[in-house]
Amino acid sequence: MDLAIGGLTIAPVAVIAFIMAALINIVFAIGVSTDAKQLQRDRPLWFAGRLMWFIATLFGGVTVAAIYWVMHRSTLNAHTNSAK
């Protein structure tokens, strides 16, 4: 059974996949925002502020969250290396 929205036919599997992807992006965006808030107490964020990282992760998903992690939490970051 297909859904008809505005003349377009959409399979229910596509709708479920879209909803799941949106939920994953929301969860990652909240996680990045929470981590950025905690990180800002100790040092400034790289490239953008907390709200911008949230919005970027909301639209970019796991890829942007991975970029955030590499920039702020991985051992490639100079601040992370100096803290050890």
* Angstrom distance (rounded) from CA 14 to CA 31: 26
The answer for residues whose C-beta is within 8 angstroms of residue 10's C-beta and 6 or more apart is 2, 3, 4
Domains in the chain: boundaries: 25-82
The tens digit of pLDDT for each residue in 5-34 reads 666 677 878 888 999 999 999 999 999 999
The dihedral region occupied by 7, where left means phi > 0, alpha psi between -120 and 50, and beta the remainder, is: left
The tens digit of pLDDT for each residue in 32-80 reads 999 888 888 888 777 887 888 899 999 999 999 998 888 877 777 666 5
